[in-house]
Amino acid sequence: MLRLLCAGICATLLYPTHLIFASTVFRCEDAGGQITYTRHGCPVTADQQLQEAFNPTPGKGKPVPLAKAKKEKRSKSKTDKKSQPLVVGQKDDGCGNRVTGRERRKAIVQQQEKSGMTQADVESSLGTPDKITRQSGETRYHYVDNEGNRRQVTFDEGGCVKGKR
């Protein structure tokens, strides 16, 4: 009799059903509309509903369908074909956006400076300057590489690389 009872308990433990993986949780909604899920019940001030939570094991049983996204309906009028995209706002780099994003990235990667780049762009490209001088509203970054070669970058009052004269 004891053997039969042990065999039954072992069989139950070794072959669990899918119901073991499901559980019931409480859905609590407070007066402010905040929703909380818990297994321990809701506070007295919250509205309580029971929710069944079931998380199927991946790859076992039937596939669980995902939610389908709603397709937006677009009206095609004659003006849509002729209209151009409208740019409402554009990021201003402080230097009049004289250097495009592609040109800026290329110059930084090639360790160059271009007229219209900001001081931050130059530091990204060449690193922290060895010396900084200021005179008559201009700022100059001085660089010296390992072989003794010198490089100087001049910025205007707005902090933008000045063009070549």
pLDDT, tens digit, 9 for 90 and up, residues 105-128: 898 899 888 888 888 889 988 999
Q: Which residues pair with 152 in a beta bridge?
A: 142
Is 68 within 8 Å of 75 (Cβ atoms)? no
The H or E element spanning position 60 is none
Q: Which residue has the higher pLDDT, 99 or 152?
A: 152
- Write the DSSP string, 39-100: SS---TTSEEEEEEE--PPTTSSSPPPPPPPPPPP----HHHHHPPPP-------SSTT-S-
Spatial separation of the C-alpha atoms in residues 70 and 79, rounded to whole Å: 25
Are the beta carbons of 26 and 41 closer than 8 angstroms? yes
| Residue spans per domain, the chain | 8-53, 101-155
Q: Give the C-alpha separation, 151 to 141, whole Å.
A: 8
Q: Check residue 137 and give its pLDDT.
A: 85
Q: Which token pair is 21?
A: 């993986």
Q: Are 104 and 121 in contact (CB under 8 A)?
A: yes
Q: What is the pTM of this model?
A: 0.44
Quick: pLDDT tens for 37-67.
Answer: 888 788 888 888 887 766 666 666 666 666 6
Question: What is the average pLDDT across 146-165?
Answer: 85
